[in-house]
Amino acid sequence: MEKQLDRVMDEVLTVPGISGCIFSDKQGLCIGVKGKASAESAGIMSAIANQVAKLEPDNKSPIIVYENDNQSCIIQQQGDITAAIYKTGII
C-alpha cells in the first residue's frame, strides 16, 4: 500500500535543504505530499512537466528548476509520475 511511498517521502525530507516534496500522476492527481508543499500544486506540477516535455521530445525526462533568491523547486516527470521537491538555499 502507500506505506512504501510514505517511507520514500520521509527519506526525502531527511536530505538537508529539502523542505517539502510532492508527487502526482500524469493527470495531476496528488499521490502524496509532505513537508512545506501544498497538494493543490500537484496539478500545476504535472502540467508544467507535460509542457516542458514537448519542448524537447528527445529528452525523456527533463528536469525543470524554478528558483527565486532563497528557494528553488525542482520538478521531474518520469513515466506517469511527476515529482517535485522544494529546496531552500541557492543552487
Contact positions vs other proteins (CB under 8 A): 1-2, 4-5, 7-8, 11-12, 15, 21, 23, 31-32, 61, 63, 65, 74, 76-79, 81, 83, 85, 87, 91
**Cβ distance to other proteins smaller for residue 10 or 40:** 10
Q: Which residue has the cell 522544494?
A: 86
Say which DSSP state 55 is in. H
**DSSP state, 83?**
E
The H or E element that residue 38 is part of is none
Q: How far is the CB of 46 from other proteins (least distance, A)?
A: 13
Nearest approach, Cβ of residue 40 and other proteins (Å) = 19
Residues β-bridged to residue 23: 32, 83
